[in-house]
Structure 1
């Protein structure tokens, strides 16, 4: 019976999701070309809030906790674990005050309504995993952007998704490049739970009635530390948080 419910509610959500992406794609284009970057950002924020809100159609729940006050007068590097494509929308919505920009695969910059357009226009670092030099240059450009505009960046140091929720070892290279260009940035770990269970087989079927959560941990001052030490510190804090409790609805 649960599988039947999963299929039915997944169909309902994917219809909603597809229509939302198509509608917001048009709104994004108008906002960016007529009203400018800030209007485009506002549209993207509400689009991601809408994506997240739609999860309630599947009976799933979203919980957000922020265990620290975050500064608005310096760049922030959010370091998050990565379970699925659904990790991203709540980060956009709940942390919209910090104007997060993402490090993403270059393949996602084309072919997906709304999402690809936003990646191209938001300043995201679009990296080619088979070209390390290009990836470093893109991440460095993004580090310079957040330093100049006092914005934030979201990076997934695992490098790939871990649907099981068991974190892979973090690679410090991307964070090191960002810190070189944005030396005043604060490192802030973000622990994500449950999204891997929500879409274990991709977009269809989704697993209904899944509790998901996003927890923002206290920041880490990188001054006087190597990128390797900072990333390890973030990793250990996130492992501790993941082990501390299970997701609750």
Structure 2
């Protein structure tokens, strides 16, 4: 009887847990980010800090919550485990919303929309049929690692830990191409040899929306993060961040085809 009572109290305590209240009480929010996924996030050796599109949104969310941002650099495969074991409070790490992931975490509204394509030698990926029999590198724990085995069953996938390993695989000729979001692939071309021998596929694999990952059931935190993102849009800050990383004068010029909205 005591064991049953203890379990009921434990379950009740878990159900009543409020991450937003805890964040406010501690005065800080632990944010999972990446350090090698430009232009979303990358380590800057000059300043010894992480910079990028995701990082600016992470800072904007913390500011609007009135707490200090504490950044934790994580690998793609660690994002959901570190969120659910409470090492971090939210994920702001090139994290796209997928049906599979919604079973494990809650998501904010989207703050970026992009295509995912394949980067390979010129002429290698002209049509979707070229995926058949191709060897393609992807990062472990990414949405591609979940979706591609089902949607491209005739493509051999090579899983690596992060973006630098994708470059190594392609430069060494161990894969025919590497798959990721268009901005990330554009940023990686300069690391390939020779750079003018590569191009993005003529077709997209997916169109994805990046969003903030939050533990399941934390409606108060979801609402607070959504309010922060929508305020960044209304104030013009979201557009200014986009211009810095994807505007005409950036290294990855891409037109902004979306607005952050409920």
- TM-score, normalised to structure 1's length? 0.25
Normalized per residue, the structure richer in helix is: 1
Normalized per residue, the structure richer in strand is: 2
- TM-score, normalised to structure 2's length? 0.24
